[in-house]
Structure 1
């Protein structure tokens, strides 16, 4: 498996992967809106080395955390998708790890996500790290990973990219 940056010619395959992974087109349309708005900050794909087919994708978009006198720009991880016939093969994990590394390289202070509370902690995400944030979501599925220690300690109000519609 090769993890690489998504290219414009990957758009149709990514749409198919995301729609099939989620069983609906909502998340695929989100990816297209984020791209159209210029908010696909990190977009990676997993490519099968033997067939050359795309088997997974992940997207990170800018996420503002507004605080008195400042705005911290973090990243939202959404969505990560793996073709159903390749789920449980480590594709999603590889995409998430590669995305986190690119986020570190880009000096993002934190990554925020809404996801399965039994899955994402293995990558360092936790609900406790997101507790200080005022967001449209809460609870064990709303998680954060601080790439810069203490980045979220001061809290703030979360503002997603416009494509999310929240």
Structure 2
């Protein structure tokens, strides 16, 4: 049984270590990280999963972005510790995070990932939405109301 909690500043380095474990070196060079630089995450949606002993098993983060003039969430990273994969924890984090986003009335969410995996959470390929290079357009996926939304994905600024 896992306990989902909102990520706090005390979790930051432990979550970063999890991401280092789960992703290839150089992950911070990806274009999605440029969209996050200097932009606060959407704190209520950023979650950590801990086992009964309090050990971090997974984490998910969401960031605000703009697509053209529209507001959207950029989901990611989401990670589950390698020793905990295959237990449904990634799905739990995705479903809970997406439910919170819906409660907070975010109309659309996007991510860069594998469509066969994320399809079960309602994500499909986005046409006309341009992530900064180098991003494979086939991996740009969205969920929610994307009708008429096209353009370049840009860093959040009010």
| TM-score for both structures, normalised by structure 1 | 0.79
User: CA 1:86–1:107 in 2, change beyond 3 Å: closer, same or farther?
Assistant: same
User: CA 1:84–1:103 in 2, change beyond 3 Å: closer, same or farther?
Assistant: same
Poorly superposed stretches of 4+, deviation over 3 Å: 27-36, 134-140
Asked whether 1:133 is paired with 2:129, we answer: yes
Question: Contact between 1:112 and 1:145, CA under 8 Å: does it hold in 2?
Answer: yes
What number of residue pairs does the alignment pair up?
Answer: 151
Structure 1: stretches of 5+ with no match in the other structure: none
User: CA 1:56–1:30 in 2, change beyond 3 Å: closer, same or farther?
Assistant: farther
SS in 1 for 2:138: coil
User: CA 1:98–1:160 in 2, change beyond 3 Å: closer, same or farther?
Assistant: farther
Q: Distance in 2 between matches of 1:117 and 1:8?
A: 31
Aligned to 1:158: 152
CA drift of 1:138 comes to: 5.2
Aligned to 2:140: 142
Question: Contact between 1:45 and 1:56, CA under 8 Å: does it hold in 2?
Answer: yes
| TM-score for both structures, normalised by structure 2 | 0.83
Structure 2: stretches of 5+ with no match in the other structure: none
SS in 1 for 2:11: helix
Question: Contact between 2:127 and 2:150, CA under 8 Å: does it hold in 1?
Answer: no
SS in 1 for 2:152: strand
Asked whether 1:51 is paired with 2:49, we answer: no
User: CA 1:101–1:21 in 2, change beyond 3 Å: closer, same or farther?
Assistant: same
Select which of 104, 107, 120 maps to 2:105.
107
Question: Contact between 1:13 and 1:54, CA under 8 Å: does it hold in 2?
Answer: yes
